[in-house]
Amino acid sequence: MRSEVILVVDDTDPNRYAKCRILRHAGFTVKEAALGEEALKIIAAERPGVVCLDVRLPDISGLDVCRRIKADPTLKTMVLQMSASFVGQEDKVRGLEGGADGYLISPFEPEEFLATVRSLLRLQHVEDELRAAAGQWRMTFDAIHDGILLIDEHGAVRRCNRAMAEIIGKSFQDIVGRHYADLLGRANENDDDISFSWPAVAREDITVQIGTRWFQATMHATAEKGANQGAVCVLADITARRHQEEEIRRLNASLEKRVEELQQSRLELHEKVTDLERFEDVVVGRELKMIEMEKEIERLKAASQTAVNQS
């Protein structure tokens, strides 16, 4: 919770004293200024929660002081513009249009004054909490590694995270407001079909290549009470998986080729073995014939020797 310091800016001493007394009696820490320039210096140094700012100041108009406060994005100070009853209605309108968070016209009751200040402080605290929540949401959104597009019912991008901006190669300003298909189509250098059915009615997945990277693009429809509220498009980087799949396909193809080569080698080996077996049969047959011939020669020699001996 921010400091509940209240700055009262009024060049009329009795009026400034009365306002400060009411606020201090209610427990607030109060700072005072009689001039616009003095008030701006105190605001820069003290960062008060609320500035009770008189419209008519001698050096700078209270309306100009309010505009300068609201023009500074580092200042979250709430401005309660205050004026006397004789100040014209157009000043009240200009004060609110100039950024004032509230307006009181004198005379007013102390209870009304305090209730207005407390109301502005509560509003300030709520805004601070919303800013903190929005900042945390943005940090979480940007920390997601997948690219995300939040798309309205017309297909225009309402918001994207940092990862998506890097994937598409454009700044946030160049992405928000553009049609999602135009952004993704221009980012896709290979002219792949990356169009989803629109309006999105269910989850839809497609695989696309953007530059040298591959993504699984998923469109999630968002609806409320049956009415189309747009969609969320998520791009998940699958480049590593794609390369692994390609490597597996390459290895499978190489393995199939090797199996074919081994089968061919087996057939050739079988043919050679068959030829060897045939050759072996021929050789064995010849050796058997040689043995028979040698036996026949020995028989003939023996018969011849017997005939010689008998004669």
Digit-coded pLDDT (tens) for 113-165 = 999 999 999 998 898 888 888 888 888 888 888 999 999 988 899 999 999 99
Domain boundaries, the chain: 5-141, 147-237
Length of the chain: 311
Q: What is the DSSP letter of 57?
A: -
Q: Residue 52: helix, strand or coil by DSSP?
A: strand
- Considering all CA atoms of the chain, what is the largest pairwise distance in Å, rounded to the nearest integer? 178
147-237: same fold as 5-141? no
Whether the pTM exceeds 0.85: the reply is: no
What average pLDDT is seen over the chain?
A: 84
The distance of Cα 147 from the centroid of its chain, to the nearest Å, equals 4
Architecture of the domain whose range is 147-237 = 2-Layer Sandwich (3.30)
133 or 76: whose pLDDT is higher? 133
- Residue 222 tokens read as 């968002």
How far apart are alpha carbons 23 and 163 in whole angstroms?
A: 49
Question: In which band, very low, low, confident or very high, does the pLDDT at 194 lie, cut at 50, 70 and 90?
Answer: low
Whole-number pLDDT of residue 186: 55
Residues sharing a CB contact under 8 Å with residue 305, sequence separation 6 or more, in sequence order: none
Superfamily per CATH, domain 5-141: Response regulator (3.40.50.2300)
Residue 85's alpha-carbon distances to 51, 95, 220, in angstroms, are: 20, 15, 57
Identify which of 99, 64, 57 has the alpha carbon closest to the alpha carbon of residue 79.
Answer: 99
Q: Residue 127: helix, strand or coil by DSSP?
A: helix
Question: Sign of the CA dihedral 259, 261, 264, 270?
Answer: negative
